[in-house]
Structures are given as structure tokens and as C-alpha cells.
Amino acid sequence: MRGSLSPRIRGVLAVAATGMIAALATGRPELAVLAAPFLIFAGAGLFLAGEPRVVADIELERARLLEGEAVAATARLSNEAGRAVNVELVPAHPGQLVLEPSGALGVLVPAKGETAIRFSLRPARWGAYSVGPLVIRVRDPLGLVIWEGTLGRRLNLRVFPREERLRELVAPSRTRPFLGNHVARSRGEGIEFADVRPFQVGDRVRRVNWRATARRGALQVNDRHPEHSSDVVLLLDTFAEARDAASGTLDSAVRAAAALARAHLARRDRVGVVDFGGTLHWLEPAFGTNQLYRIIDALLASDVAFSYAWRDAVSLPRRVLPPGALILAITPLLDERSIALVTDLARRGCDLTVVEVSPFDHVRPGPSASDALAYRLWHLERDALRARLRALGIAVAVWDPDLTLGPALEEVNAFRRSARHAAFA
């Protein structure tokens, strides 16, 4: 720990020096007598001020929590010296962690004893944080010397985005021949009814439709659609974001990606993530609970990185986009590079859906009439952009982060069904 003189001793020494100088200048010894107690006080304080022997550590009630929750923390202080000391401590943390109660926490640690201080930390947004070490400030008994230093270990705290339950998901156009929850277009062993056809050698008796057999006078069997799984790739746009003092579109995009990943993994789909922006990161599609944890950890590291680099579909490794995968592009559609990417993927024949995170909640028009006109023109420009994407066959879900994601996905499924029927007409 590093020691320094407190403002109190500086004031004491200034008063004593003033008295001594005045005594020498005027030749009046009584002024020196008045300054002597201040010198004695300062000398005694410096003599008694020994470096404190304090040991500190910090513990967290849990290392993982959801956005908006608070985590309880305990700071344990141990005094190995023979006298009690006053200790002030502050956990070293970034500004996104709010300390409750706020400010420095002071406590008296008895001689050869221990003391525990309990407080809570509340994260303002999702992310990965480091809590600790503790910033310790100890004063000598007379308050003339201050000892400061950092003690304790550094703990990792991971804050996950808020969960959102989704009853409706985007139905993939193509599936994988593995057990899942999506009704495949092919016919085989399954639950969903497809059609009635004449009996063939090898058909099981339990598939016979006795009513159709009685009407047609020949054995008829039921055809069904099997339940398959699919590959899902979450394409997170981190080129740009709209942000205000409280939150931004990236925060909402990460929450949407986490909810979609959890829902698709629960339906036995393989899910992967691509962080497409100034820096390119990806996680290959896989399934299972471990994949969900890997996706969440990858999403917590997402951030907007400024870059002039122009990226397109060629920048993505082939193994990240399996053939027939459902691509869910989560983007505010604010950067030309992300718009060019989704357009390129659609022209390559990918099964693509755009989840547009609306930036309007984070952008307000200016006070002047020209600002209001520009704001309206921006609205019209975005409407034209959506129309252009839909003309390419891209389903666009406009999601207001203040609302649930489910209704936007229902509109996507309705658009995809109508587009498919129009293609077959």
C-alpha cells in the first residue's frame, strides 16, 4: 500500500510554519510557543502512523445473472495489527455496474479481528464484467497519513440478456433428415397428415385409412410429413447502431439473438452465430445446452467496431453457412455493408429472413422544421428499403424493442407462405 500525507497534516504544518516565520520576523517568541503544539501534533502523528496490515477479499453470491438483476457481494477485511483501523473501500468496477449503497463504504476493523461488509452490484446492461480488487483507504489514528492500495482478487461476472419466450419461430424452407420439431415437406414416418394414397407392398397396417378404403373399394393408406430439424445461423450486424443515453439497437439485437438461439435449440435445431461487423467472429452450428452457453458467451463479446473494411458474403467461411440453413439477420439496417450482405445472400438463393431492430426509439427529430422534415424523409427512405428487400423475396420483420418479438415473426411466416404460394402459382 502507498502512503501519502492527508490535507489535515498539510494544514497543520502550514499553520506551524506560519507561526515560526512570524516569530523570526517579529522577534516575538510567544508566536513560536503558539506554533509548537501544531509541530508536536504533526510529529506525533507521523511517529504513530505505521503501515497498516490489512488483508481483504471479495466474494460474489453468484457469477451469472440476468440483465436487471442484482448480485450480493461480501467484502471480508482482516486486521493483523495491534490496533483498530478505519477502512474505506470501493470495489473496482466499470461504470455499467451500479454499487448499492453508492459511494465508499467505511468500517472499523478491530485489532487482530475481522469484519465483513455486504453490498450489492446491479449491472445496467448485459456483458462480461470484472469485479474487484478492492480499493482500500486506511487513515492513521490522527488522520494525518492516508494509505491506499488494491487488495483482493478479481472476479468475473457474466450478465446475460433478458429472456423472452417465443411461441412462434420462423419456419425453415429446408430441413435436415434428423429428428426435430419442424414439419418437413417430404413424406415419411411422422405425425402431420399429408395425403391419402393407394396401398403399396411394405406399408404398415396401422397406416391404412379404413374410411377411405371403404369408400374407394381398395386399400388406402395415410401419408405423413416427418418431423425434422434444421440449421439456423444468427447473423448479428455490428457495423453500426443507433444509441441514446440508456440503450441502443445492439442491446436489443443481442437480446433477440439470445431468445432465438434458446428457442431453436429447444426444438433440436443446430444453431450458429456470426458477428458480422468491423471485426468478424463466428460460431459454427451445433446443438445442445453447451452450444447455448457458447452462443451466449459469444453474444456477450459483441460490440460495434468502427471499420472502413467492406465485407460481403465471400468473407464468411463456408462451414458457417451450411447448405439449406435458415439465416436470421438481426440488423438495424443502418450500414450499407450490412444491406449489401443480405441482398447478396438473397441473390445466392439462401433461406434468409431479416429481423430489423427499429432505431426510431433511439433517434429523435431536432427542434427545427427542417429537422422534422429530414426525420420524415428518413422514415420514407427506410420504408423504400424494406420494399426493395421484400421485392427480392426477403421477409423483413420490423421489431420494436418495446414490444415482444413473437408478432413480428408471425408476420414473417405469413409473408413467406404467401411468397411460396406465389412462386408455385
Does 338 lie in the same domain as 287? Answer: yes
> Hey, which of 49-63, 140-154, 181-195 has the most confident mean pLDDT?
49-63
Which of the two residues, 30 and 198, has the higher pLDDT score?
A: 198
Does 209 lie in the same domain as 262? Answer: no
Contact 322, 287 (CB under 8 A): no
Q: Which of 160, 179, 214 is the last residue of a domain?
A: 160
pLDDT grade, residue 235 (50/70/90)? very high
> Hey, which of 155-159, 273-277, 289-293, 385-389 has the most confident mean pLDDT?
385-389
Does 199 lie in the same domain as 277? Answer: no
* pLDDT above 60 (res 420): no
Does 143 lie in the same domain as 99? Answer: yes
C-alpha cell recorded at residue 360: 426510431
* pLDDT above 80 (res 71): yes
Which of the two residues, 307 and 286, has the higher pLDDT score?
A: 286
Give me the pLDDT at residue 422, please: 45
Query: Could you tell me if residue 8 is inside a domain?
Result: no
Q: Which of 160, 179, 208 is the last residue of a domain?
A: 160
Give me the pLDDT at residue 4, please: 60
Percentage of residues in the chain with pLDDT exceeding 90? 9
Query: Could you tell me if residue 132 is inside a domain?
Result: yes
Over range 259-276, report the average pLDDT.
90
Over range 399-422, report the average pLDDT.
78
Q: Which of 138, 160, 182 is the last residue of a domain?
A: 160
Question: In terms of residue numbers, what domain contains 314?
Answer: 229-424
Does 108 lie in the same domain as 256? Answer: no
pLDDT grade, residue 412 (50/70/90)? confident
* pLDDT above 80 (res 273): yes
pLDDT digits (tens, 9 = 90+) for 304-344: 665 656 666 777 778 888 888 899 999 999 888 889 889 99
Give me the pLDDT at residue 401, please: 82
Does 312 lie in the same domain as 365? Answer: yes
pLDDT grade, residue 421 (50/70/90)? very low
Query: Could you tell me if residue 276 is inside a domain?
Result: yes
Does 220 lie in the same domain as 100? Answer: no
pTM across the whole model = 0.71
Domain count, the chain: 3
Does 234 lie in the same domain as 221? Answer: no
